[in-house]
Every structure is written in structure tokens, then in C-alpha cells.
Amino acid sequence: MIKDRNHTASSRADSGAASLEAVGMVAASGLVVVLLLTMIGGPSNALAGLYCRATGAMAQAAGGEPPTCAPDSSVAPPPSGEPPGAQPPDDRDRPRDRRPDGNSPPMDPPKVVPPRSPVCRPAEGSTRPGLPPGEVKLTPKPARRGPIKDSTSITVKIDPAKVEGDATNSQKMSIVLEGQRGVSAEKAAELGKVGVKLDFNTGRRTTYGYSGPTDSTPNLTDGIPPNPFDPDNIPPGGTVNLDGEFYTSVGASAAYRGLVANETDGSGSGATVAVTKLPPSKPGENKVRVMVGSTDFVEQAVSLGFGTPSYNLGLFDSRKVTDKAMRQAEFDLGTPEGRRAYNAAVFGGKLPTSDEPGVSNIAQVMGSEYARRNGVQVKAGDQGAKSTTDGEDHSVLVTVYSDGRQVDEVTRRVGPDTYSQVQEYDASGARVPEKSRFQFRQTGLSADEVENYNFAYGDDRAEIPPGSYNAVLSLNAGELQQVRIDAATILAASLKKRGIDRPELGSAPRLADFQRVLKDNPRWLDETFNEPAEAEALRILRYPNDAELANMIWRSGGWTETSNLDWFNQWRNYYIKVTGDDLPTKVGDMVCRRQQ
């Protein structure tokens, strides 16, 4: 994906390092947001507790003694017999149990890895579907001095829920504080019966965002909200973002006989801090990942409605593209060194440049994100609300570690359908196929749709309980190669049925033979194979790259709940129709989960 990875990483690292100067500003602004949330919904002593812990963390980072903080009433008391604040002993310091013969007990038997199966069998437990997406914006009465308007607003946003790799849902919630100064030429131009309004604005946004599993989403009005200054309060798998952005925008609106159209285009830059609580890989593990860096973005919002320019109801479509250049490190908060390094990174923007005790996986991260939202909006003066009915999310992240490894992550969501891929490259730039993963994620499947897929592709007749389901089908590089082999088998069987003998293919053509002819004489293949099953098999062979083949499968069924499942059902039917046999291998591994 990146040819000169070292050069790219070093050039982007310069901008990432420069952005650390802005991290302190973002952290300070984010602390204001967190304190605001605490005062709105938390207990009366929560603010003092947060301030005490924050100053204690800074004192520890500086090598001093932290103050003694009162216990937080929002945290469950320790088990009886343990003093407040007691931590469970570290397993490394605990003596091993011994059998009567004096020998250490045998090690736990290795975990049995279940065989891969493309059949949807609902996993134990369920997942919450998430909150309805949308946003509400509140703006106190702005101050006006002639054509100049100064305003401050607070916006609460809820993004659409996403399906993760284990078929659970995750969702992001954000609170945005925005200060804006604008110049308006309202009613300055009248073109016939069309009223025209122009705006030019500059502003600053500070965003507090939390994203994580819907099953463990904290209540922001109950105690202290998750924040990077207190990482122990972030649920596993959760991420807290603090973003600061400066922007300029130009807007134009027109009104004609109650029909109102508006468009706003903006661009800007800023700094970002993201703290992710990593799910523990073993009991007692306490690790977080910190990413800090700079961002550049462009955004556009278009709306069409009925009413007046100030009071209207209509449809909206908004888009935003963001480029990021960041640095990453993972901290083991279970060690004093990791805790001190974490505090220095979050409070002072001093991210380590190499692995050290308590710090690992130092990396440069470059990426781009595209977000589109559309739905219904209502505007009443300076206030407004939006209900998101549909949208898209696309992201590309390239992570280059200090040892030369590179991991590319791509995620695309269109409505209920999501595609995800992860590919890893070693220090020499060679791809590591066994570490590649390609996933098709669907949401909103009915029990009937799941049963139909299970029977059509996997010959499984098990009854699925009624409900709405998430389904994730994972493929690896070997399984995608099996799809190509099956495609070559279809073409070979078709040639045999027709009695066509091509010397360059041999008497028993295989995948490599068709790939060679596809390169040397593609026109003959196109003219020979034109039946639906043959055309689909030939199309598969045109994608020797795993990512391109997986993308082709994802796009083939359109953007519906069952698009990818329908493709695999049809592919099996094609194979049986041409060869007379069933697929030798039903590729993929399916995880399903019922939504509550």
C-alpha cells in the first residue's frame, strides 16, 4: 500500500511531533468538557474527586507524592476484608500452589480451537442495538455588532452503531463546545423573488467523544464520565477522544416561496488525543493505547427544506474528510513505569519514542476518514436538531511500528453493510498472508434470513430463535484462494461439457493454467465463458489480490442486510449447476449475535 514506508513515516512523523505542542491545549479544553459533564450529572463530591486524582496523577508524573483523595461514591466498595483502594495481588508475586508430592501443578491444557464454520449459530449472550443516531444543538442568544455575530454552542451527537468483529455493537457519542465569529450578508441581495444570504465564519471546536461497546456504555450522567485523565474509569474496549479544531467556513442559502436551500463548506486543522482501554489478554492486565497527533479536514453540509431561512424543516446531507498523522504507544498501567509514562504523555504530550519498561508498540499512524450522514433536520433560529436515517463511514489506517512491521486496516460501512480488512507486512515489506483477515459484517438480519442462509450455504436446518441478528463472516487468505480454485473448477467443467480442448490449458486445466491464459489471451476467455456461472468464475480469477477479491464479493450484492450472504448462496448454486457436485469446502467462519 505504501511503497516507501520509511520515508513516508518519517515525513509524517515531523508533522505528528509538531502537533504535540497543541496536545496540552486540547487536554486542557477536554478537561473543561469533562468537568462540565461531571457538574451536570455527577454526585456533588465527584468534581472534587476528579480534581484530586488529576492533580495526584500530575504529581506522580513529576516524581512527587500524590495527595490523599476521598473515595469516589460512584465506585463500588472493595470486597469485605480489604481496605479501601486495595488492589488484587499480582500473580507474579503469589507463590504457586503445589501438590502433596511437592511438584508444581500441571499447566492448563491448551485451549481447543473450534473448527471454522460458515454457519450462523448465535453466540452466548446478546448485544444492545445502540441509541438512535442524531444530534441536538443548543446556542444561547448570540452577541451582534452590526454584521458581526459571536456565538457559543453546545452540540450532543450520537453516531450510528457499528458491528464489530465479534458481532457486538459499538457506538460513539460526542459533546462539542464551539465558539464562532461570523460575518453575515443577510438580506443584502434580492434576486427577483429569491432571497439570498451569505455567511463567512471562523471558529474553534473542542470535542469530547466516547466510543465503545454498547453493552458496556457508561451512563454519562451517573458519576464521572470516562476521561483520559482517569484511564481506570474507561471500560475495556472503550475509547475517549479529545479533539481541538480551528476552522473557516463559507455558507450560502436561498429561499423561494417557502422552499429553503442551504450549503456550507469549511476546512480546518487541529490536534487529537485518543485513549483506548485495551481488552485484557490475561487476568489482571491493565493496558491502554494512546494516540496523539494532528488533523486536517474539509467538510460540507447541504440541506433542503420548507419554511424560512431561520425556521425550517427538511432533509440534510453532510460529509467530512479527515487526514490524520499520529504517534502511538501502549502503556502497561499495572507497572509504575507505565503509569508515569502515561501521565507524562496525556498531561504533557511527551509520548515515548521507543519501547521502554511499561511502554510498548511505539508506532507512527497515518490515516484518512470519510463520514457521510443524511436524514431529517429541524431549525428554529440558532437552535437545531437532526435525526440520522442513513450514512457511510470509510477509514484507512496505516500503522508502522518501530521494528519495521506495518499493519493496514480498512473499514467501509454503507448502511447496514460493513467490510473490514487487516493486512500485515514484515520489516522487508513482504505481506504476511497468515495474518490477513477479511470480514463481512451485517446487522438487522431476521431469524428467517439467518435460517435461509444456513440452509442454502451450509445445509444446516437448525431453528433460529426470533429476533434481530448481527452476523460477521470472516475469511482468511487460504479461503480466498479456495474460492479461486473453485472458480477454475467451474471453468474446467464447462470446457469438458462443451468438448472444448485448448492446448494451452491441457487436458485437466487448473487454476494456474487459467491464470496464465487470462494474462496471455483474455479475449478468448471472455468470448467463451458468458453464462452467469462462468462469468462470475472468470470475474473471480481477475482478482489475484486478496483485498480486491474480498472487496468484489462485498460489493456484489448491493447494500442490503443480506448482500454478502446472498453472494455465497448464489456461488454455491453456480458450482453445483456446472460441476454437479457440492463445494469441497464451505469457506469462512461465522459469528452471530442476537440484538436485545
Task: Provide the terminal-to-terminal Cα distance of the chain, rounded to the nearest Å.
Answer: 40
- Beta strand 122-127 pairing with 589-595: parallel
CB 456 within 8 A of CB 569: yes
492 grid coordinates: 474446467
The sign of the CA dihedral 41, 46, 51, 57 is: negative
Q: How many angstroms from the chain centroid is the CA of residue 214? A: 14
User: What is the DSSP code string of 58-111?
Assistant: HHHHTTSPPPPPPPPTTSPPPPTTS-TT--PPPGGGSPPP--TTSPPPPPPPPP
Tell me how far apart the alpha carbons of residues 278 and 334 are, in angstroms, rounded to a whole number: 13
Question: Strand, coil or helix: what is 410?
Answer: strand
Mean pLDDT across 67-81: 40
Tell me how far apart the alpha carbons of residues 462 and 590 are, in angstroms, rounded to a whole number: 15
Does 88 score more than 90 pLDDT? Answer: no
pLDDT band at 50, cuts 50/70/90?
very low
For the stretch 319-331, pLDDT in tens is 999 999 999 999 9
Does 378 score more than 60 pLDDT? Answer: yes
- Beta strand 189-191 pairing with 169-184: unpaired
Does 138 score more than 60 pLDDT? Answer: yes
Work out the percent of the chain whose per-residue pLDDT is above 70: 77
49 vs 442, residue with greater confidence: 442
Q: Which range, of 47-51, 143-147, 200-204, averages the lowest pLDDT?
A: 47-51
342 grid coordinates: 502515561
536 vs 28, residue with greater confidence: 536
Q: Residue 205 pairs with which residues in a beta bridge?
A: 178, 245
Instruction: Choose among 467, 472, 473: nearest CA to 594.
Output: 467
Work out the percent of the chain whose per-residue pLDDT is above 90: 53
488 vs 63, residue with greater confidence: 488
208 grid coordinates: 469530547
Q: Kindly report the average pLDDT of the chain as a whole number.
A: 80
Instruction: Choose among 176, 452, 197, 216: nearest CA to 320.
Output: 176
Instruction: Choose among 187, 183, 209: nearest CA to 196.
Output: 187
For the stretch 163-211, pLDDT in tens is 999 999 999 999 999 999 888 765 544 555 777 888 899 999 999 999 9
For the stretch 213-232, pLDDT in tens is 988 765 544 556 788 888 88
Does 47 score more than 70 pLDDT? Answer: no
Provide the whole-model pTM. Answer: 0.78
Q: What is the dihedral of CA 499, 505, 511, 517, to 10 degrees?
A: -110
Q: Which residue in this structure is represented by grid cell 501438590?
A: 99
